[in-house]
């Protein structure tokens, strides 16, 4: 099986919410502003759906021929698709060297159980802390050696960003560990707003 692409991950995650056709997937992704995470085009999504089906990660469950609209094939997530999604999220939540993938993993982390997310984020936090300490010490050493400040502007920015991400990660972990924060695949609320969003995307 090929490695999942970010679009593939988003498609599998959508199908965890329920069976749907690609047109609904595109509309839901756009209504949720997922273009902030990846480029969304009809062609890319339909190509991704076809590849995921060939790999057995999703399957057809019906074809809609309503009115004069083009046929719409509805897809469902297979057990293999669920396993692939969970494996990808676990891997990408833990590492710090693939920031684009991490953003998508974080956006879809609710597909993992709370304890799993906590464990993965603690691993990531340890790696972030190690990187921050090394970066901070390197910056101090450079200044001690008289390296001009204008040369260190980017170095200084990265140290600030790493420190901020550590603080944010600690805050998220605190929320997750309190268990007052609804979480996990079974905690997704079928609110009126969510159901209306799904209905609008199906039109």
What is the model's pLDDT at position 186? Answer: 64
| pTM of the predicted protein model | 0.85
Cα–Cα distance, 70 to 67 (Å, whole number): 8
Tell me which residue of 162, 57, 14, 15 sits closest to 99, measured CA to CA.
Answer: 162
User: Taking the domain 6-105+187-202, which CATH number applies?
Assistant: 1.10.10.10
- The Cα 186–Cα 189 span in angstroms is 8
Q: How far apart are CA 28 and CA 32, in angstroms?
A: 6
Q: What is the pLDDT along the chain (203 residues), one digit of tens a residue?
A: 568 999 999 999 999 989 999 999 999 999 989 999 999 999 999 999 999 999 999 999 988 766 666 678 999 999 999 999 999 999 999 999 999 999 999 999 999 999 999 999 999 999 999 999 999 999 999 999 999 999 999 999 999 999 999 999 999 999 999 878 888 766 655 655 655 565 666 66
What letter would DSSP give residue 190? -
pLDDT attached to residue 68: 63
Task: Kindly list the domain boundaries of the chain, sorted by start residue.
Answer: 6-105+187-202, 113-178
């Amino acid at each position: 099986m090929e490695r999942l692409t970010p679009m593939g991950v988003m498609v599998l995650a959508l199908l965890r919410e329920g069976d749907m056709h690609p047109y609904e997937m595109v509309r839901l992704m756009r209504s949720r502003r997922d273009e902030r995470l990846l480029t969304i085009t009809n062609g890319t999504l339909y190509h991704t759906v076809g590849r995921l089906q060939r790999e057995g990660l999703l399957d057809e469950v019906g074809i809609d021929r309503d009115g004069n609209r083009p046929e719409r094939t509805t897809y469902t997530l297979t057990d293999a698709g669920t396993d692939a999604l969970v494996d990808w999220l676990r891997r990408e939540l833990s590492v710090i060297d693939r920031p684009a993938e991490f953003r998508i993993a974080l956006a879809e982390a609710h597909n993992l159980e709370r304890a799993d997310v906590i464990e993965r984020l603690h691993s990531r936090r340890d790696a972030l802390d190690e990187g921050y300490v090394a970066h901070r010490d390197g910056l101090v050493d450079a200044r001690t050696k008289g390296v001009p400040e204008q040369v260190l502007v980017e170095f200084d920015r990265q140290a600030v960003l790493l420190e901020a991400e550590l603080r944010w990660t600690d805050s998220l972990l605190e929320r997750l560990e309190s268990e007052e924060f609804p979480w996990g695949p079974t905690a997704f609320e079928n609110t009126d707003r969510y159901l209306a969003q799904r209905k609008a995307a199906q039109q």
